[in-house]
Structure 1
Amino acid sequence: MVELGHFALVLAFALSLVQSTIPIVGSQKNDARLMAVAGPVAVAVFTLIAASFLVLTWAYVVSDFSVRNVFENSHSMKPTLYKITGTWGNHEGSMLLWVLILSLFSALVAAFGRNLPATLKTNALAVQGWVASAFLLFILATSNPFTRLVPAPFEGQDLNPILQDIGLAIHPPLLYLGYVGFSVSFSFAVAALIEGRIDAAWARWVRPWTLAAWIFLTGGIAMGSYWAYYELGWGGFWFWDPVENASFMPWLAGTALLHSALVMEKRSALKIWTVLLAIMTFSLSLLGTFLVRSGVLTSVHAFATDPARGVFILVILSLFVGGSFALFAFRAPSLTAGGVFQPISREGSLVLNNLFLTTATATVLIGTLYPLLVEAVSGDKISVGAPFFNLTFGPLMIPLLALVPFGPLLAWKRGDLYAAAQRLAWALGGAILATLVVMIFVDRTMLFAALGIGLAVWLFLGAITDIALRSGFGNTSFSNMRRRFFGLPRSAHGAALAHLGLGVALLGIVATTAFQSEHIVALKPGETTDIAGRNLRFERLVPHQGPNYTEDQAVFTLISGNREIGSVSSAKRLYTARRMPTTEAGILTRGFSQLYVALGDPTPDGGIVVRIWWKPMVTMIWLGPLLMMIGGILSISDRRLRIGAPARRKAVLAPQPAE
């Protein structure tokens, strides 16, 4: 079975070479038969890689320790769920998942791109084949997941304990669907440059694929943030870790690409810029792949790999990024920029959006790569941490967020800023009121926190204003307003929900950062401590035996006044195979807020050090991205955004001859 999986991978590499050469030759010669090869071959490559991935998963499930990858990352006593997720909890398996998702997107383009121009579809699938060929070669040459051990060990070394979590079942697949999903936008951009023709229809074809990738990447980043929050025991949701930045940069660029493609589709403007953004977004995805797997970064998220693999990926990165930018430089002078518009217009607001987003992406890129460049040149090790990113990224985001509600209320080509401001007056009033409430009733010294909360309220009231005005709120009867509300395009509801989600996430970030309480104390069973006006009582310490670990579980009760409002359990866990300890945080959710408890070391007098946080509105940090994802799903469900979905037309019956 394992050899079949390996053979399927080799055959997939051979077919991906066919996919990357024969169709593009056909498009240059205008040979329909050669061009027709692209679709079936793309589907065949996906089928073979899927079979290979299933074989590796089977080897994990049955604990086949004759496979080196299974031996190094699994254990017979590990729960079945974590045996499955262990398939991609390592370098080799995760790279196989990477190319599986790449081939999936290629197969989807082949299946659902029937109404695409033949040459554009053919060239795009060929570019997908180039990327697949490079990474399949990388896997077969340096990262073969099917390498055998002879003789086979009796037992495995187990998976890294911090990866034995349900978050790992969700986070990497979502992240890769986002990372790799942008390859479709990249392939369409390169295909259009090869053909030398870019128009508004191109943006219409690209936007759904970009939106799908953006939805998955949003979910992947949010899930990764929550996983780090509860699994690592640090109590934080974002640390500006270089590997976190590696996924955040494509998200920022992809968000800019979404808005730029909208301008190109609606007004046939920003053509050259949109193509450049499509190339940049996937280039940043490839850069993230390099950073995680090259060994140049030290991070809890990074795969520790040898430098040879890093050099191989760096060559791939250079070829695709350098080649695509060279092609862009060659073709750009012959491309037309598109339509013109006034600075005060919806197009102008989206251009401003792109300016802030790409500048923010550049600051994150510089902060991430600068320490690596300094170490490569001088040998000195420096670190760029949260203070740098907060001082550079934050000031760029504040004006961008303040301007977001204006964009949907401005007309295309020429807008009226004063009229848009009048429509947003009640949203501004609500934001000012929220700011004053925080200053007067919460903490008068927290001016910046109050302004941040006011900005968050401004964002989601602005999103509500957009939909309310489109529905005729205040200008028509309730029944008519209701009819107009449900008659709005799904993309309109989706955009408003995404902007609302942005405000919700900002509210959670500001409230948690400014108003959280932290307390570190040594407690014995029966003792009580205070946290944020509440009492936390340490009830007992209980030993517990898991399937492949032992733990000491501490049980606490949260008391408000004289009433017990909930209990929470935290643990210190030891995984027996690796002899590796972990901290399992205890979390009690009350409304949108959470009590977070992490255990430290035992004290000589029989107590234990406990680190306690009260985090107000912390769940809004992840509720916001969830709303953004739902908004994206609503938008992509709009028929106007789906490839291969022409408008329905009623059949017209031919007149019958009179008898």
Structure 2
Amino acid sequence: MIVELGHYALILALAASLIQSVIPALGAYRGDARMMEVGQSSSLGVFLLLAFAFSALTVAYVTSDFSVLNVYENSHSAKPMLYKITGVWGNHEGSMLLWVLILAFFGALVASFGRDLPPSLRANVLSVQAWILTAFLAFILFTSNPFARLFPAPFEGQDLNPILQDVGLAIHPPLLYLGYVGFSIAFSFAVAALMDGKIDAAWARWVRPWTLTAWIFLTLGISMGSYWAYYELGWGGWWFWDPVENASFMPWLSGTALLHSAVVMEKRSALKVWTILLAILTFSLSLLGTFLVRSGVLTSVHAFATDPSRGVFILMILCIFIGGSLALFAFRASTLESGGLFQPVSREGALVLNNLFLTTAAATVLIGTLYPLLLEMVTGEKISVGAPFFNLTFGPLMVPLLLAVPFGPLLAWKRGDIAGATQRLYWAVGAALLTAIIAIALTQGTEVLASLGLGLGVWLLIGSLTDLAERANFRKAGLSKGFARLKGLPRSAFGTTLAHFGLGVTVIGIVCVSAFETEIVTSMEPGGTREAGGYEIRFDGMSKRQGPNFSEEVGTFTVLDAGRALGTMESARRLYTARQMPTTEAGIRTNWFSQLYISLGDSAANGGATVVRIWYKPWVTLIWIGTLFMAFGGMVSLADRRLRVGAPAARKSLHASGAKA
């Protein structure tokens, strides 16, 4: 019965979203306050209905109700409870239900915390959100119903894909969807503003918190996905330029550009046209990622669906929303004022440069991802575009951008002094050069590019801290006054510093693991030893274990340093009983920021030698530690009262801004 109620709630949500998509927008057009208020109640109602539907599907998974086709195809009675719950979104139908639930959640947030918005803008934003929601609810109900029944009900399920039976499934997809779908708010604000014809600095101030929230979640989602693939797939890599990885990376790049562009629009009332376009393009790239994952055009460990009919439906959604929003943008762009002027050498100019490189990088990734698909569609020829292409095109675009990052916060608005900013960065220049020289000396000149990369990372670290040091002015003001000045700075200043600092940490991690990692592929017998990264790895032997829904062969290794045992590592080969699918569980030992990584291959027929892959990855954890710094920097910026949606102290100023608009 709960399943039928969940299905009914899904149908009611579609009906309510249809109402929300029309009446508030019509009310905004007519200036009817009552009609505009419908958007608030309907958005909350849709969210509650979808929350109930999602809960109903979760109950079906928890109770192993195999009369539900989705549960039968993706669950098993012997599966641990955690994976029964995460299995709800470990498939196409359930993950789409999570997708629309998050979309409705953001709409409900706008309805609840957007009371300070001009009524017509809020009504149009909620209507645009409902247009997107209606399209995807129709997609679910007509092509991907998660509540479809099986008669007669099977006794046992087919189990979840073994690769997905990991705690990463509990974290990575929800975070990624909160980022993907979160950018829908920026899109809705952009389309609503184009409908109203009112775009000013107040609009940028309203849209920034939502964009920043989505960016934080997408940063964490991509980071978690990278680490999950790193330890689960047993390949030893942290990024593969997989097309679906690229699909999440592209909106992150354009979303980062949008954040910086919105700052210029808020401070100087400039870049209005460009900021609106970025808001549209960022969510368009999120929709493109949804299409790539669910259309069947890609074969990937990330892809959910292979049904072409679903791909055609999503392609129609893409054409409607991307094409429609761009057409509206083209119609309205000529009516938008250009805004404030500024010199090329200024903080605005630095942010424009940031946008130029980020959007070009996103375009490069887009071309590398879609070109093989387009070529196959036109000529039938199959090619693959892999890491060499992306490394040779994306990397050179990032170097000048990273060099320019520390300059931005040190330049004045409207007209800056590049010579003065350079003088204030002398500590960063000295530290970067010293780091590069030491690295070149230690590697005896064999890793010049890597040494320069380390210098670039240190340049970002010290350069990001320079802005705070300059504002505190410890040298002239002294420690007490300096710390008092720091305390008085807006939180967004600390957030910017943390994000740029985290970028430097990630760069150092990428350079170190790319240039200095050690990889050994060898056959080992019990008692045999190999050396990696200055450690001695002894293979102690294999043993068999039985899990709840799998059997595994576990290899045990002892890590020794100068003959002294530091501990043991285990790596396993698993076979999941229901699907008869093998997986590899890598053994990882972390020593400060570096890791030993061991993955098992096949064993000899006589049970003797075993193929073992051993990596020593220096400072690899800095890659993900840096992303945590970036996300935390975003959270600190979000805590700034000027960006806090609905903050009581800000209500008066927001009303004033709305009145001027």
Q: Same fold by TM-score, threshold 0.5 exceeded?
A: yes
Measure, in 1, the Cα distance between the counterparts of 2:411 and 2:54. Answer: 49
Measure, in 2, the Cα distance between the counterparts of 1:474 and 1:544. Answer: 63
Measure, in 2, the Cα distance between the counterparts of 1:142 and 1:533. Answer: 55
**Secondary structure of the equivalent of 2:475?**
coil
Q: What is aligned with 2:334?
A: 333
How far is the alpha carbon of 1:539 from its aligned partner?
A: 1.3
Q: What is aligned with 1:189?
A: 190
Measure, in 1, the Cα distance between the counterparts of 2:643 and 2:473. Answer: 25
Deviations 1:194-214 (A, max 9, x none): 011100000000000000000
Measure, in 2, the Cα distance between the counterparts of 1:84 and 1:131. Answer: 27
Contact map agreement 1:525 1:540 (CA 8 A) in 2? yes
Q: What is aligned with 1:628?
A: 630
**Secondary structure of the equivalent of 1:338?**
coil
Mean Cα displacement is larger for which, 435-444 or 387-396?
A: 435-444
Q: What is aligned with 2:656?
A: none
Q: Spell out structure 1 runs of 4+ moving beyond 4 A.
A: none
**1:209 partnered with 2:210:** yes
Matched to 2:378, the amino acid is V
Deviations 1:74-113 (A, max 9, x none): 0000000000000000000000000000000000000000
Written as runs of structure 1 = structure 2, the 5 A alignment for 1:32-71 is 32-71=33-72
How far is the alpha carbon of 1:441 from its aligned partner?
A: 1.7
Measure, in 2, the Cα distance between the counterparts of 1:510 and 1:96. Answer: 39
Measure, in 1, the Cα distance between the counterparts of 2:200 and 2:531. Answer: 63
Matched to 1:312, the amino acid is F
Written as runs of structure 1 = structure 2, the 5 A alignment for 1:453-468 is 453-468=454-469
Measure, in 1, the Cα distance between the counterparts of 2:16 and 2:135. Answer: 12
Deviations 1:43-65 (A, max 9, x none): 00000000000110110000000
**Secondary structure of the equivalent of 2:571?**
strand
Q: What is aligned with 1:121?
A: 122
Q: What is aligned with 1:76?
A: 77
Matched to 1:513, the amino acid is S
Matched to 2:61, the amino acid is Y
**Secondary structure of the equivalent of 1:614?**
strand
Matched to 1:555, the amino acid is T
Measure, in 2, the Cα distance between the counterparts of 1:570 and 1:219. Answer: 27
How far is the alpha carbon of 1:525 from its aligned partner?
A: 1.2
**Secondary structure of the equivalent of 1:288?**
helix
* Alignment match of 1:607 (pick from 595, 606, 609): 609
**1:482 partnered with 2:496:** no
Matched to 2:26, the amino acid is V
Q: What is aligned with 1:226?
A: 227
Measure, in 2, the Cα distance between the counterparts of 1:226 and 1:215. Answer: 17
| Residues 443, 48 of structure 1: alpha-carbon distance in 2 compared, 3 angstrom cutoff | farther
Q: What is aligned with 2:307?
A: 306
Mean Cα displacement is larger for which, 528-537 or 411-420?
A: 528-537
Q: What is aligned with 1:582?
A: 583
Measure, in 2, the Cα distance between the counterparts of 1:58 and 1:181. Answer: 26
| Residues 70, 399 of structure 1: alpha-carbon distance in 2 compared, 3 angstrom cutoff | same
How far is the alpha carbon of 1:562 from its aligned partner?
A: 2.1
Q: What is aligned with 2:421?
A: 420
**Secondary structure of the equivalent of 2:551?**
strand
Written as runs of structure 1 = structure 2, the 5 A alignment for 1:8-157 is 8-157=9-158
**Secondary structure of the equivalent of 1:334?**
coil
Contact map agreement 1:38 1:125 (CA 8 A) in 2? yes
**1:166 partnered with 2:167:** yes
Q: What is aligned with 1:656?
A: none
Contact map agreement 1:406 1:421 (CA 8 A) in 2? yes
**Secondary structure of the equivalent of 1:595?**
strand
Q: What is aligned with 1:541?
A: 542
Q: What is aligned with 2:7?
A: 6
Q: What is aligned with 1:501?
A: 502
Measure, in 1, the Cα distance between the counterparts of 2:63 and 2:165. Answer: 17
Q: What is aligned with 2:645?
A: 643
Measure, in 2, the Cα distance between the counterparts of 1:35 and 1:648. Answer: 23
Measure, in 1, the Cα distance between the counterparts of 2:526 and 2:631. Answer: 44
Q: What is aligned with 1:245?
A: 246
How far is the alpha carbon of 1:515 from its aligned partner?
A: 0.1
Measure, in 1, the Cα distance between the counterparts of 2:474 and 2:298. Answer: 53
How far is the alpha carbon of 1:647 from its aligned partner?
A: 2.5
- Aligned residue pairs total 650
Deviations 1:330-373 (A, max 9, x none): 00011111110000000000000000000001000000000010
Measure, in 2, the Cα distance between the counterparts of 1:334 and 1:184. Answer: 23
**1:556 partnered with 2:560:** no
How far is the alpha carbon of 1:648 from its aligned partner?
A: 6.7
**1:569 partnered with 2:570:** yes
Contact map agreement 1:453 1:510 (CA 8 A) in 2? yes
**1:271 partnered with 2:272:** yes
Written as runs of structure 1 = structure 2, the 5 A alignment for 1:259-298 is 259-298=260-299
Measure, in 1, the Cα distance between the counterparts of 2:511 and 2:605. Answer: 39
Measure, in 2, the Cα distance between the counterparts of 1:241 and 1:70. Answer: 28
**Secondary structure of the equivalent of 1:72?**
helix
Structure 1 gap segments, 5+ residues each: 651-659
How far is the alpha carbon of 1:486 from its aligned partner?
A: 2.2
**Secondary structure of the equivalent of 2:632?**
helix
| Residues 339, 552 of structure 1: alpha-carbon distance in 2 compared, 3 angstrom cutoff | same
Measure, in 1, the Cα distance between the counterparts of 2:648 and 2:327. Answer: 35
Deviations 1:595-620 (A, max 9, x none): 00000000245110000000000000
**Secondary structure of the equivalent of 1:36?**
helix
Matched to 2:368, the amino acid is G
Measure, in 1, the Cα distance between the counterparts of 2:233 and 2:444. Answer: 31
Q: What is aligned with 1:655?
A: none
**Secondary structure of the equivalent of 1:206?**
helix
**1:618 partnered with 2:620:** yes
Mean Cα displacement is larger for which, 338-347 or 299-308?
A: 299-308
Q: TM-score, normalised by structure 1?
A: 0.98
How far is the alpha carbon of 1:482 from its aligned partner?
A: 1.6
Measure, in 1, the Cα distance between the counterparts of 2:61 and 2:136. Answer: 23
**Cα RMSD (Å) of the superposition?**
1.0
Contact map agreement 1:264 1:270 (CA 8 A) in 2? yes
Contact map agreement 2:641 2:650 (CA 8 A) in 1? no
Measure, in 2, the Cα distance between the counterparts of 1:505 and 1:67. Answer: 44
Deviations 1:446-467 (A, max 9, x none): 0000000000000011011111
| Residues 649, 9 of structure 1: alpha-carbon distance in 2 compared, 3 angstrom cutoff | closer
Q: TM-score, normalised by structure 2?
A: 0.97
Contact map agreement 2:474 2:481 (CA 8 A) in 1? no
How far is the alpha carbon of 1:303 from its aligned partner?
A: 1.2
Deviations 1:537-563 (A, max 9, x none): 011212111111010111111111122
How far is the alpha carbon of 1:649 from its aligned partner?
A: 10
**Secondary structure of the equivalent of 2:371?**
helix
Measure, in 2, the Cα distance between the counterparts of 1:511 and 1:301. Answer: 27
Mean Cα displacement is larger for which, 556-565 or 575-584?
A: 556-565
**Secondary structure of the equivalent of 1:234?**
coil
Contact map agreement 1:522 1:603 (CA 8 A) in 2? no
How far is the alpha carbon of 1:133 from its aligned partner?
A: 0.2
Contact map agreement 2:297 2:306 (CA 8 A) in 1? no
| Residues 34, 552 of structure 1: alpha-carbon distance in 2 compared, 3 angstrom cutoff | same
How far is the alpha carbon of 1:527 from its aligned partner?
A: 1.1
Measure, in 1, the Cα distance between the counterparts of 2:488 and 2:74. Answer: 52
**Secondary structure of the equivalent of 1:55?**
helix
How far is the alpha carbon of 1:533 from its aligned partner?
A: 2.3
| Residues 436, 90 of structure 1: alpha-carbon distance in 2 compared, 3 angstrom cutoff | same
Written as runs of structure 1 = structure 2, the 5 A alignment for 1:377-526 is 377-526=378-527
